[in-house]
Structure 1
Amino acid sequence: MRFEQLEQFLALGNLRHFRQAAEQTNISTSALTRSIQTLEEEIGCELVKRSTRSVKLTEQGELFLVYCKNTLAELEHTKKQIHQSLFGRDQQRLVIGYTNQASQIVPLSCGQFLADYPNVKIEMQLQDENELSRKLQLGEIDISVFLQKACQIESDVHLPDQLIMFVAKHHPLASKDTIRREELLHYSMFGCFSQSKQVQNMLNEVIEGLNKSTSVKIGNIEQVIQGLKSSTSFAIASIEHAKTVAQDPNLVLLKTNKAMEQEHLVVQTNRNLGASNYISHLLSLIERTAQTKQYVS
């Protein structure tokens, strides 16, 4: 039984697909099949249930999969210990894998880190997300960094770029960083006429989307502003009125979600990577750099 066979079975157990597992371990599908058959002969039981549609592990196969994971992780840990015993502990080494989307984060963070820890050697590897997961599991990298799509919250208020939302300075919503749809249910609404038919149609769609069609009060910008100052209503108007609203000290423009596609940072560390000051410092730099790039973590 060879370590390569354990890696091949681990790939098959993770992917449950012969062709994909063969591609991941850089062998042919027929070679992977022979490797699994050899393992079954050596162990003396069936590890994999094969069908034309799927690959399922037997109960014994699931147990052997755990063995593969633990053995390969222990192998990598032992390699590191041997390396440290040969070359000393003064020169620490970190392998960081990252996706192309995180290329604005990792190199910059590592550059800042090396200025503080010149004795630590860093190897950076540009990989796709699946390869990062595989290498992290096998202990071939210490830290993986990638960006993941953030789910949009359906209850957030989305306004087209051509529209603005605003309230009086004393309004409860004036201090909110984001506005939730359910919060607007408690307040009446003003809508401001627009000379653009297209913008007016957008305004009508927002009014309908907020279920304010039967209660909205429509007027010109002067009427709307006057109505806000004597009530707890909110207002929506065309972007052409943004300057007028911004210059009025008694009004506040509200921040609304423009439905932009956001990403958040995902940082994973190898389970054998011990906690230390320099590791914590590097992870902190990665997170701080992501925040300056306006990624949500």
Structure 2
Amino acid sequence: MNLRHLRYFVAVAEELHFARAAERLHIEQSPLSRAIKDLEYDLGVQLLERSTRSTRLTWPGEVFLDSARRVLVAVEQAKASAKAAASGYRGTLRIALSEGIAQPRLATLLTQCREEEPDVEIRLFQVPRADQIKGLRSELYDAGFGKSTDVGDGIVTQPVWRDPLVLAVPARHPLLGHKRIPLDEALRYPLIICDPELCEGCWQQIEPALRTVDAVPVIAERVASVDLMLTLVAAGYGLGFITTARAAVLRHPDIVSRQLAGRSLMLTTYLLRPDNEPSEQLQRFIQRVSPPETSSHAAPI
């Protein structure tokens, strides 16, 4: 078994079609099939069930796919670290981002890191929350930022940023008659939300606020990203929740951000790291991350 076998297997497992996988790998289908058979022979395990109509993963294949992906990521990280060392960097921090991190916050942090410790490379990885947690446990990543504390054992969470939520409203919407929009008024209109399965932490924080009013929210769309949510808001499909940090960089003529009436609803971002003694580089990185903001007029949701 070698890395080529792993790359071939991952391609087939993701495509579930040998011809498409071969095209993706820029090889012929015949050597791809032989490589998969060789891999299964070496492992003594059937990874794929093939028929004339379909290809699907066996349960051992699903388990092996997860491990194969981690191995390939680790190899790419090793290559990148070697190239970084050759370019003059004395260390690398691998930071995994999930569920959308406020751009101004992250940009300010990265600028500070480059100014204060220019010989340490910061590598960012945008990954689903589940992959972030697995990567932290297996030490593929040194730390991460996310929106949930439901991470299980072996990972430490620390609140670092708290941002007020505002409404993203289509231009010329009736609600813009309010200087501050009451939440119960907002919930009379359809909402565009990030899919709870993809943005679990955000939904865990926002959903309790929606239950504080009598109105039952109407979910018009569940989307995979804030960018898509804003696109649908601009098109008039509904309203969306965004942080003030995101609103500060929003430049869309068809969207107006408007504060909610009453006490501010807050969205908390957490720093996640393995539950062990951090390296000196990671300790300095943690110290640069701003502590949670405190305000007598704001309350977490």
Q: Same fold (TM over 0.5)?
A: no
> Which has a greater percent of strand?
2
TM-score by length of 2: 0.40
TM-score by length of 1: 0.41
> Which has a greater percent of helix?
1
